[in-house]
Amino acid sequence: MSNKLKYVMGLFFEKRESTKRTKRTKPFILISYLMRILMGFILILVIINDFNFNIIKYIILLLGIGSIIDGFESFLKKENTRQMLLDFGIAFMWFVVFLIS
């Protein structure tokens, strides 16, 4: 590839570091996929049961568990303490909403 073509391609497809978290480990990716599948299954159950919103509280519970898993992952990777506390705080809020509903 010529240098001019590389330059033009570099303008449109530049490589930059992401501001998001570091790369997730495989077990945590699998757990998050399992949680999303369970949430989709619960939504299908809500639709089948004529929008019985008592079942939706279990989605809120899964969201809280997912936030705890994210916080635990950031603790294991020794990432930013602020991010870990944010994940645990969001999980606490999800659990409070679950207990209220």
- Of 77 and 66, the structure prediction assigns the larger pLDDT to 66
Q: Please say if the pLDDT value at position 32 is more than 90.
A: no
Task: State the average pLDDT for the chain.
Answer: 82
Q: Provide Rg for the chain, Cα atoms.
A: 20
Give the contacts of 94 (CB within 8 A, at least 6 positions apart): 60, 61, 63, 64, 67
What is the pLDDT at residue 95?
94
| pLDDT higher than 70, residue 21 | no
With a pLDDT cut of 70, the percent of the chain lying above it is 82
- When pLDDT is averaged across residues 92-100 and rounded to a whole number, the result is 94
User: How far apart, in Å, are the Cα atoms of 80 and each of 24, 46, 68?
Assistant: 14, 38, 15
Extents of the domains making up the chain: 24-100
Which pair of structure tokens corresponds to residue 20?
């998001």
Report the chain's terminal Cα–Cα distance, integer Å.
60
- 18: pLDDT strictly greater than 60: no
